[in-house]
Each structure stands twice: as C-alpha cells, then as structure tokens.
Amino acid sequence: MKLNIREFSSTQAGFREELEALLAWDSVSDAGVQEAVFNIVNQVRKEGDKAVIEFTNRFDRRQIADASELEISRDEMSQAKQRISAELVASLEAAAARVHDYHERQKQPSWQYQEDSGTVLGQKVTPLDRVGVYVPGGKAAYPSSVLMNVMPAKVAGVGEIIMVVPTPDGFVNDIVLAAAHIAGVDRVFTIGGAQAVAALAYGTETVPKVDKIVGPGNIYVATAKRQVFGAVGIDMIAGPSEILVVCDGKTNPDWIAMDLFSQAEHDEDAQSILISPDADYIQQVKASMERLIEAQSRQQIIKVSLEGRGAFIHVKDMDEAIEIANLVAAEHLELSIDEPEKWVEKIRHAGAIFMGRHTPEALGDYCAGPNHVLPTSGTARFSSPLGVYDFQKRSSLINCSPQGASDLAKIASPLARGESLEAHAMSAEYRILDSKVNGGE
C-alpha cells in the first residue's frame, strides 16, 4: 500500500515552522461539546442518580430502572476473571506485579529535621482518601489502562478506588473486569462519559464523591474533567497518542516500521515520527511500512494517522536528532541507537524513554513496569508520567520551640509591617522572648 507520509530535511527552508505546524494539536473541545458537557455535568450535580440513569440509558442504549443496577460487585469481577483464558489471567497478573514493583520505588516517606533552636520542620505525606478511575468501555478492551491507573494508587495507600466504565448496549468486558479484580479496585460502576466524571466529582446517592479522577477518555470525558477540576483533582488532559523514534540507521527497518504502526493504530489523530541522519535508511523503513501495512487489521486507521500527522525527518547528525527530540517533547521516545545510555543524558523532554534496539514502546504499554499514562502534545516539557506521587499529598510540618519562635518572629515582623499587615506582625512579636509586647514572658 502506497503511503504518502511527509518527509522533511532539517536543512530545508522553513523546517522549524513546518515541524511546529505538524506537532500542533488543539485539545480544546468546540463550543458544541463544551455546552453539552456543561449541561450534563450540571444536571448530574443537581439530580444525582436520576440524571446518571437518564444519560446512561440515552447514550449507552441501556434500560436501567434503579441506580443499584449500575454497580458490579467484587464477586462479578471474580467471575469475569474465571471466564477469560488462563494465559490472559497469567499475563494480567504478571503485568500487575511488575507495575506494582516499579511504583513501590516511587513511594515518598514523611520527613523532618530539628534546628539548633529546637524548632522542628518537616513534611507529612498522606495518601488520598478516595480516587475515581475512568476506563474506556465497550468492545474495545483496555485492561492495561486499569492496571496503570490503579496500581500506583494502591501503592500510595489510597483508601478506596472507584472505577467507572461504560457498557454500551449492556456489553460488559470480562478482561477489563478481571483486570479490576486483580488490581484491587473496590467498586465498579457501569457508567461513562461526562455523566460518569460528574458523578465522581460531586457524588450521587449511589456513586461516592472522590478526591481525584484519573484515566483516559474521549473528548466529552476530557472536557468534563477540565470542567470539574477544582472540585476534584485530575491527572491531565491528554491528547492523541504519539511516538518519536530516533534511529541511527542500524536497526532492522521492519522493527521500526512496526514501532511506528504501534502508535498509528490507536486512532486517526495519533502521531508517529521517525528521525534519522541516514536518508537511505528512512527510505528502507518507508518500504517496510508499505509492505507490512497490508497485514494490519487496522490498516485504514494507520494509513490516515501516518498520512495526516506522521513524518520522516532527515537530520545532519545525532546531535541534531536529539535537539529536535527535545523540541518535540514526545509522549514516547525511542532511542534505537548505539550507546543509548550516552545520548539519554542529553534528553530533557520526553514522557517515557525507550533505550536501545530491543525496547519497543509496546512493552512499556503493557508490562515493563513504568506507567503508560504519559504527558502528550509537548506537555512533557513540564509534566511527568502518572505515578504514586499523584495519589499522595504533602503537608508542611512546623513546630517552633520558644527560642525558635522568637528568632523567626524577628524576621517575620519587619516583613509583615512592610506589607502593612499589622496583625501578622503582632502575632509574631508576641512570641519574641523578653519583648515588651508579650510582657517579657
């Protein structure tokens, strides 16, 4: 199949402008979506279960009469696990264990230290009480999304994890429920869309209110998450999936072709880019892609994605390749090169970095261990992968000794008066030892 994928050279006129145009992604929903989501969220906030049932019946083509029908019990999750193959159960359990083990290393302890004056300062780390996990539903199964969103929350010590997953036409995906059982989800509700986000954010008679909502969804889910932010925390507003492969021309071109396909098959807006200093190699990869795409079950999606947002970029050398990689700040960055350990030191912006020729991004999606919930659309410049730290909050600890309070008050008082905040100043001055303000106590 012929593929019309953009080809750039870093030396051509206007290259940077064309690259920026290719990377541009407007994650803001249009006015129609925003208005629809606003109405749904507000109705759920006001009417609770009644609105959730109404929207679930309308959008998911169900016939729910009572909100209790929306919940799936732990026993039902266990039964779903028994219905899938033993091989799939083993893979889910192995992946869950690896994700758990990796995130165990992210745990942050509380800490404190004592100053010479006796004042104690520190930080108390506390897990969130309750978290909501949104999982896409229907015939598209995303058990990996369950594991990646739930396991770090479990490691963090979150008290209760509520999962929501839509079941259009009443279709319940056993693989997703099995993953929920293995990951240790506490409660599952078969609702989706903006109504699910609103139910989690504000609570209903049946769905508990949560402290934070995580997990991917369509434009309605993303818009709803943006709207309820502030009432609850959210993980991020994610754009389409993306991969940037930097290759020196020595990796089997079939491998790289399939790595690029692995993101393009997500959806038509996904982005796959190859950067190489070897122009002949780029053509080899393109030839591999045109040959291998014929066997892909999602070839039409792949074709639209590659031709709409994909690119081959020829650069002068590896230094320039790394420079452009930092400019792109990709969700997934593959360094399919010699000595990746050397070059990774120069990478400043990437969601996840896959090092070497034997580390395809697909392994990270499922079972390597690090989280696959990653910043997209260039937000890796200031954002990080989902992790244990997203399910914990930090409180500052301050315990002043009499001498410590006196010393600090002498610093605070002039600053407070400089801001014309007299009560602040006097509150501090009362703690100054042997001061006239406090009577020399």
Catalogue the active-site residues: 331-332
- Cα separation, 325 vs 364, in Å, equals 19
Strands (E), 97-194: 111-114, 120-127, 130-134, 160-164, 187-189
What 255-259 contacts at long range (C-beta under 8 Å, 24+ apart), as own/partner pairs, is: 255/336, 255/357, 255/360, 256/285, 256/288, 256/336, 257/285, 257/288, 257/289, 257/292, 258/292, 258/360, 259/334, 259/336, 259/360, 259/361, 259/362
Cα pseudo-dihedral 320, 322, 325, 326, rounded to 10: -100
Beta bridge partners of residue 214, listed in sequence order: 133
Strands (E), 285-432: 311-314, 332-336, 352-355, 392-399
Kindly list the distances between the CA atom of residue 298 and the CA atoms of 145, 221, 268, 305, in Å, as whole numbers in the listed order.
Answer: 20, 24, 10, 11
Helix (H, G, I), strand (E, B) or coil at 89: helix
Pull the structure tokens for residue 155.
């490691």
